[in-house]
């Protein structure tokens, strides 16, 4: 699907700037669809965890100021 949209965007821009306005409109529409499909949660880290390794995930609200402290309860 992404390959088709990318092709429509490039072909539409090329032909649209050459004087065919409906191709330009098609390129803009395909670009908007492609951009909407790519929006999603940002990947912060990706990797593999081997046996015996540990992964600690901490989350906090960014509105409250600084990073979370490591001296929590328990």
Over residues 17-31, the pLDDT tens digits come to 999 899 999 999 999
Over residues 49-58, the pLDDT tens digits come to 999 999 888 8
Q: Cβ(27)–Cβ(16) under 8 Å?
A: yes
Rounded alpha-carbon distances, angstroms, from residue 61 to 49, 56, 58, 64: 26, 17, 11, 6
> Hey, what are 15's tokens?
């032909």
Tell whether the model's pLDDT for residue 42 goes beyond 80: no
Total residues found in the chain within this entry: 74
């Amino acid at each position: 699907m992404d390959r088709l949209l990318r092709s429509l965007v490039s072909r539409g821009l090329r032909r649209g700037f050459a004087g065919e306005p409906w191709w330009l409109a098609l390129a803009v529409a395909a670009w908007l669809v492609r951009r909407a499909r790519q929006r999603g949660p940002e990947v912060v880290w990706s990797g593999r965890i081997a046996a015996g390794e540990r992964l600690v995930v901490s989350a906090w609200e960014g509105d409250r100021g600084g990073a979370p402290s490591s001296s929590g309860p328990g």
